[in-house]
Amino acid sequence: MSTAASPRPSPASAARRRAVIDALRRGAVPESGLDLLATGLGRFETALDAELDAVASGSSVFKAVRGEYGSGKTFFTRWLGERAKRLGLAVAEIQISETETPLHKLETVYRRLTERLTTASFPPSALRPVMDAWFYALEEDALAAGAGEEELPAEVEKLLTARLAEVSRHAPSFATALRGYRSALAEGDEGTASAVMAWLGGQPHVAAAARRSAGVRGDLDHFGAFGFLQGLLTVLRDSGHRGLFVVLDEVETLQRVRSDARDKALNALRQLIDEVHSGRFPGLYLVITGTPAFYDGQQGVQRLPPLAQRLATDFTTDPRFDNPRAVQVRLPGFTQESLIGLGVTIRDLYAAGAGAPDRVKGVVDDAYVADLARAVGGALGGKVGVAPRLFLKKLVGDVLDRVDQFEDFDPRQHYRLTVMDNELTDVERNLAAAVSADDIDLDV
């Protein structure tokens, strides 16, 4: 019943290639298969793998990732999340936003975590499969200890109480709700069981009758979220997982919220970091991402000196000597050379699943990939660092797909780069404003 992952990476199957290519065609970061694309991340591997191993053994880690728009923060965290999943950790990626997931409301952050919870075996939300696996593990342990069928319910209850003893000191309702969930299942009441599981996941407005049946009341609050996270980690560990990898993405959005909400959010982040470092959450690897302006500016981390002290990292040296073990790591972003290298990697990955791989590689040769990379960078005002998303979207959707489908298509003759306003993000649009795409020609 364990939903933990195998430590071995899966091969580059046709399905994995297709999932990656489809995401790039949409201009999105793939949800999986990022090991097929990873370039330039080798210098992080040893330190980060050591941290993941420590978390899998019961430690806890906090990491801050900094990088400008387009530097690959989302790619980096998903790549790291895949490595975590192969070690047997569950994974959750949460987008911080003022309206949907405000950081100062940790009960909402916890709810998004359970909604996005995934394992190697189950897509989001994996909360209920994990809980079911936990009860199965309790039953197996009770039977292994010599419990008979008639004694099993009582022995499972004893194990539940013992294993959640520490959690119950801070959030007794977590264990109470789990008992209510199990009772509803035993009685065949699927409606109540589902409602109680939703309440355990932090969902608001659960039916009062279901809450009464489980012996709980009200909704999860800011302070209760810590206890529920602690409980979730306990359940994950006992159900065969080795921990939980959580990403709080785009934390820089805090700079755009009202000052009172921003101050609360920064303090919540400081509190969360302290709890991680205190050892309250064994098996948790917590990552946040943000721009340099968020970490260094007065509207971000520097607004709260205790938080700034916790995240302080020296970036005055050459980026080649950045310490990947530090609390904060820097993604330097793409150069023209690395962008071309990524394009060649994508071209080869695409060709591996194409009908005529030799023609794909021959028509879209390394020189053409370099020309297209330069052209896209030029269309964005020469800002290569923000070009990867659009470049890969154009390479796959406008060039490789056509070469694969039309034998007489030659991008040097039949394709001219165009960049429409409605396909750009706000940052890309601002950079492109000063340059007309019609003025950008491929160097052929």
Q: What is the pLDDT of residues 17-59, one digit of tens each?
A: 899 999 999 988 888 788 887 777 888 999 999 999 999 999 9
Instruction: Give exposure, 67-102, as e/b (b: 16+ Cβ within 10 Å).
Output: bbbbbbbbbbbbbbbbbbbbbbbbbbbbebbbeebb
Q: How many CB atoms lie within 10 A of CB 254?
A: 27
Residue with token string 């199990």: 182
- The yes-or-no verdict on residue 387 having pLDDT over 70 is yes
Write out pLDDT tens, residues 61-111.
999 999 988 788 988 999 999 999 999 999 999 999 989 999 999 999 999
pLDDT averaged over every residue in the chain: 89
Q: With cut-offs at 50, 70 and 90, classify the pLDDT of residue 223.
A: confident
Say what the pTM is: 0.85
Structure tokens at 103: 């950081």
Q: Is 305 exposed, middle or buried (0-12, 13-18, 19+ CB in 10 A)?
A: exposed
Distance of alpha carbon 84 from alpha carbon 79, whole angstroms: 9
In Å, how far from its chain's centre is CA 43? Answer: 20
Check: CB of residue 240 under 8 Å from CB of residue 137: yes
Mean pLDDT confidence for 133-147: 92
- The yes-or-no verdict on residue 192 having pLDDT over 60 is yes
- Residues contacting 84, CB < 8 A, separation 6+: 52, 55, 91, 243, 245, 285
- The yes-or-no verdict on residue 420 having pLDDT over 80 is no
SS3 assignment, position 437:
helix
Residue type, 37: L
Query: In this predicted structure, which of 165-169, 344-348, 366-370, 418-422 has the lowest mean pLDDT?
Result: 418-422
Residue 287 β-bridge partners: 63, 247
What's the number of CA atoms in the CB half-sphere (13 Å) around residue 239?
Answer: 27
- The yes-or-no verdict on residue 435 having pLDDT over 50 is no
Q: What share of the chain in percent tops pLDDT 70?
A: 89
pLDDT at 425: 66
Distance of alpha carbon 55 from alpha carbon 24, whole angstroms: 32
SS3 assignment, position 324:
coil
Mean pLDDT confidence for 112-120: 96
CA-nearest of 408, 425, 424 to 363 is: 408
Distance of alpha carbon 185 from alpha carbon 173, whole angstroms: 18
